[in-house]
């Protein structure tokens, strides 16, 4: 079975500072990894994904993440945050199996709070 751990439930940061949201996963099979963002009273928006290839993936809004297979991590980073980045961020994993299509396992979420 797969599992995802987001190591920080809340991350406060000042505007224009860098930020890292940490995510570790556990799986005995190959995985695909995702970061989603959720703004208040909205659904989830896909920020970025790791499916294969380069371990450094770039997403929308200036975010990037690095897949580290040996550390089983997929940390999300942004070099300079804005007030508008205040939201909840979810790390998710799914297995590379066609028959298991559609099942994302989510972490508990990290609430990013950007202060002026």
Partner 1 sequence: KAGVTQTPRYLIKTRGQQVTLSCSPISGHRSVSWYQQTPGQGLQFLFEYFSETQRNKGNFPGRFSGRQFSNSRSEMNVSTLELGDSALYLCASSLVGTVSSYEQYFGPGTRLTVT
Task: Write out the residues near partner 1 by the rule CB under 8 A.
Answer: 32, 34, 36, 42-46, 49, 51-52, 90, 92, 94, 96, 98-109
Q: Using alpha carbons only, what angle is made at residue 44 by residues 54 and 20, rounded to the nearest 5 degrees?
A: 50
Nearer to partner 1, 42 or 54 (CB): 42
Output the smallest distance, CB 77 to partner 1, in A.
21
Output the smallest distance, CB 79 to partner 1, in A.
25
Rounded to whole angstroms, the Cα distance separating 94 from 80 reads: 29
Nearer to partner 1, 28 or 41 (CB): 41
Contacts of residue 9, defined as CB under 8 A and 6 or more positions apart, other chains included, come to 108, 109, 110, 111
Can you read off the two tokens belonging to residue 12? 């406060």
Output the smallest distance, CB 73 to partner 1, in A.
19
Give the DSSP letter of residue 103.
Answer: -
Nearer to partner 1, 19 or 35 (CB): 35
- Residues facing residue 47 across a β-bridge: none
Output the smallest distance, CB 3 to partner 1, in A.
12
């Amino acid at each position: 079975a797969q599992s995802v751990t987001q190591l920080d439930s809340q991350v406060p940061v000042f505007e224009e500072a860098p930020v890292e949201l940490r995510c570790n996963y556990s799986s005995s099979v190959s995985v695909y990894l995702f970061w989603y963002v959720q703004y208040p009273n909205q659904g989830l928006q896909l920020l970025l994904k790791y499916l294969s290839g380069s371990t450094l993936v770039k997403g929308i809004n200036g975010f990037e993440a690095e897949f580290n297979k040996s550390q089983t991590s997929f940390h999300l980073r942004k070099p300079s945050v804005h007030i508008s980045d205040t939201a909840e961020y979810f790390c998710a994993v799914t297995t590379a199996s066609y028959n298991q299509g559609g099942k994302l396992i989510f972490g508990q979420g990290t609430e990013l709070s950007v202060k002026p």
